[in-house]
Each structure stands twice: as C-alpha cells, then as structure tokens.
Amino acid sequence: MKAIVFGSTGALGRELVVQLLECKDFTQVIAVTRREIPESERTRTFPGITLKGTGQKLKVVQVNFEGGKEVVPLWLTLRDFLDSHTVAFCALGTTVREARTADARRRVDVEYVDNVAMVCKQYYVEHFSLVTAKGAKTDSWFDYLAAKGDIEDRVTQLGFVRTTIWRPGALERHALMRWYESLLALTVRLMPVATLAEALVNNALTPIQRKEKPTLEGPFEEEDIWLIAHPGSSEAEAVEASEQVEPVPFYSFQNLYSTFFGVPEKEMSSLKTDKTSQDKADVALL
C-alpha cells in the first residue's frame, strides 16, 4: 500500500509523513510539495526520519498547483504515483495571514484541493482522506468555514470508493502554531497534531468495504478522532479527552479577526519571506 500526502510540509502533513514512514503497511510515502526539498533538508522538514532508515520509503514530489502554459500539468506530475493501492491524504490549507488575501486563501483551501482530488480520482485512487475544520458548512457566515464546507461537498461528489472527512478543532502545532491557537493554548488544551495524524493512519489501515454506492466516513470531530487514534479506549475516556481539547469554537478568534478586520499592517510587515523558515512558501499549513 502507498500513501500520498498533499500539504506535506505543514504541521499536520509533516507529522503524517513521519508516521506513515514508520508504518510497515505502507511501502512508499509520496510527499507532495510546492518547492524543492533537497535531500540535505529532509530530516529538518520531516523531523524524526532517518534517510538510511524509514526515510528510504520517502519520495518528495514538487508540483505547481497554479497551472499555466509554462509548467507541467498537475496530472502529468502525479500520474505515476497514483493507483488503486494508493491512499490519498489531503492536509492542504492556509489562512489569510499566510495567503495575504481572502481570495488567495480560498484558492488554496478549495481550488487546490479540488484539483488534486480530481487527479486522484482520474488515476484510480479509491480512498481520499480530507482534513477540513470544525464547523465546516457551506452556508456558514464565516468565509473560512464556508470554504471548508464547499470543498467537502466537491470531494464527496467525486464519488471515491471511500471518502473520509476530518474536522479537527484548533491544533497544537508546536513551532508552527497559529496566533489564535497560541491564545487558545493559554486557557485550554489543544489536540496534538500527532493524535490527528495517528487517527488518519489508523483509519487508512482498515480495509475498504466495497459497496454499491461510494462510502462516506465522518465527519469525524474531537471525540471520534481520539477514539480512532486510541483503539480500545472507552467512550467515556474519549469524551473526557475531547472536552479537554477545546471547549470553545474553533473559529472564535481566527475568523472574527480575518473576516471582519483582516491582518493589521504591522503584522503584515512582520511576516518573514525566508523560504526555509517553516515552509511558508509551501502554503500547506494544516
């Protein structure tokens, strides 16, 4: 079984890549990125891997999501890595702060994801695992959550044999923490990205149940995620753990801030453009 990870250099994506590499059931892990990652940088980009150990299963593939006449089409870049034995994980996403505008954010959150999902469907991928956000809903008043709901609908309509949707709340991303998550972390315990990644891997290892109609799993939120990440745990333990994770709405800070106020000029000017610092250029920050 193979795995392909879109958004592989974000906080969740890099943790997911590491866990997939450590899983003996996956013989190859394809990390899709927007910029080249030389072999010398891979242990820094994906902390915990060893190039002579599990890292030998890693294949880093650079793509251009924007398209255009001067670049190799997305499908042509990916087609050799996709088949019915490949599980696709999509952790692509960004914020207004990283994307600079609401339109640019939507292009990443919706159009990029839609494009990769269509390519996966075209080349026989049967299981597509999509991470969106708690509260995702097409008719949400918050543009961020409306976009997440939109892409859930688009991916579902493609009719993969198996589609899994994950709606985590705010995440503990360590060095890649977003500003609103840092505020939340002062008062509540956030879900570690390692827990979410573990749930995605465990879910992918369960056999596909072939039915007449496509199977839609989820959307899975905190309690479900905790149970899938820790098989054998009791429902009471899951409830307790999920209540500790995030008792306030995911969008309470971020969306009010970005939707109604945008990013203050002083914060915009402080953004670093160093492409080697936490891969901001990758815009794959889930």
Among 15, 29, 8, CA closest to 191: 15
**Distance, C-alpha 45 to centroid of its chain:** 16
The confidence score (pLDDT) of residue 232 equals: 77
The confidence score (pLDDT) of residue 274 equals: 39
The confidence score (pLDDT) of residue 122 equals: 95
Q: What are phi and psi of 155, to 5 degrees?
A: -65, -40
Query: Which residue has 């190039």 as its token pair?
Result: 51
Under CATH, which number does the domain 2-282 receive?
Answer: 3.40.50.720
pTM surpassing 0.95? no
Instruction: Tell me how far apart the terminal alpha carbons of the chain are, to the nearest angstrom.
Output: 24
* Residue 253 to residue 180: CA distance in whole angstroms: 6
What are the domain boundaries of the chain?
Answer: 2-282
The confidence score (pLDDT) of residue 282 equals: 41
The confidence score (pLDDT) of residue 259 equals: 38
Q: What is the mean pLDDT of each run of 10 residues along the chain (286 residues)?
A: 94 93 95 88 81 80 75 83 95 75 87 95 96 94 92 97 94 58 55 93 91 91 92 66 48 43 38 37 42
Helices in the chain by DSSP H: which ranges?
11-22, 42-45, 74-78, 96-99, 102-106, 113-122, 143-157, 179-184, 193-205, 222-229, 235-245, 254-255, 265-270
Task: State the Cα angle at 63 between 59 and 65, rounded to 5°.
Answer: 145
- 16 DSSP 8-state letter: H
Q: Is 1 helix (H, G, I), strand (E, B) or coil?
A: coil
